[in-house]
Amino acid sequence: MIDKGLDDIELNLEFILGSAEISLDFLNNLKEDDIVSTEISTGEPTFLLVSGEPIARGDIMLDYKDINFRITKIFDSNDAIRFSKDYFGT
């Protein structure tokens, strides 16, 4: 349980939607309206990171004009270690 005195601390959330491997030439020539394809398909899980640390997996939900995140699994420390090795090579 987190100390109630810390409730007002704001944290940076990141959502990992996918990744792509591109060449330096491709990167140097990017311009507005270009499309970069990711290595994931629709329906694959998205990951939630807090201050760079993975804490959950979930799905992107579209609700009219809003984009939301539905958590499907909260990571324990072993899940977080596996995630880091699989996705960041650390």
Give the residue ranges of the chain where pLDDT is below 70.
Answer: 1-5, 42, 79-90
pLDDT of residue 32: 94
| Report field, pTM of the whole predicted structure over 0.75 | no
Q: Do residues 17 and 60 make contact, with C-beta atoms less than 8 angstroms apart?
A: yes
**Counting every residue, how long is the chain?**
90
- Cβ within 8 Å of residue 79, ≥6 positions away: 54, 73
Listed residue (46, 74, 39, 75) closest to 60, CA to CA:
46
Q: What digits encode the pLDDT tens for the residues 43-62? A: 777 888 888 888 898 888 88
Could you count the other beta carbons within 10 Å of the beta carbon of residue 84?
Answer: 15
